[in-house]
């Protein structure tokens, strides 16, 4: 499988700055897999990938990258800790939150394209 967007599109058209070039292909591929789920594989055999799909891929890749960075920083599920009058906050189920955020990022770009609607057949 090939990702729906490459780093050049991310940097030059989407104007993304969050994902380093050496990590982009990993996150773009994961984002593309999620797009395929949300579009019922309608793009699998597409010759030309619409700009909305490329942008959705970049947005979803950023969500995945940010979620991974946050989970690396959060040790043992603790998102914050206070010493005076002891207080600990635990991170929520990051996988579920990340999945919702990826879906929202994709919907932002593909909602009105007909690619996400079950009733539309291309």
Summarised one tens digit per residue, pLDDT across range 6-27 is 999 999 999 999 999 999 999 9
SS3 81: strand
User: Which of 116, 119, 122, 8 is CA-nearest to residue 52?
Assistant: 116
Which pLDDT score, from 0 to 100, does residue 39 have? 95
SS3 label, residue 78: strand
Higher pLDDT, 117 or 83: 117
| Assessment of whether the complete model's pTM goes beyond 0.85 | no
Contacts of 63 (CB under 8 A, 6+ apart): 31, 98, 101, 102, 105
Q: Which whole number is the average pLDDT over 73-82?
A: 57
The secondary structure of 78-99, three-state, reads: EEEEECCCCEEEECCCHHHHHH
Report the candidate in 110, 106, 97, 96 with the shortest Cα–Cα distance to residue 34. 106
Please, which pLDDT band fits residue 69 given cuts at 50, 70 and 90? confident
Note the pLDDT tens digit of each residue in 16-61.
999 999 999 999 999 999 999 999 999 988 989 999 999 999 999 9
User: In the numeric block, which tokens belong to residue 56?
Assistant: 């959705």
């Amino acid at each position: 499988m090939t990702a729906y967007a490459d780093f050049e599109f991310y940097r030059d058209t989407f104007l993304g700055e969050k994902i380093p070039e050496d990590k982009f292909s990993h996150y773009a591929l994961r984002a593309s897999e999620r797009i395929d789920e949300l579009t019922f594989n309608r793009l699998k055999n597409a010759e030309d990938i619409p700009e909305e799909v490329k942008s959705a891929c970049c947005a979803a890749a950023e969500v995945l990258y940010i979620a991974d960075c946050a989970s690396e920083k959060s040790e043992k599920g603790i998102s914050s800790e206070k010493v005076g009058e002891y207080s600990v906050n635990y991170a929520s189920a990051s996988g579920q939150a990340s999945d919702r955020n990826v879906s929202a990022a994709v919907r932002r770009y593909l909602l009105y394209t007909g690619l996400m609607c079950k009733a539309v057949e291309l």
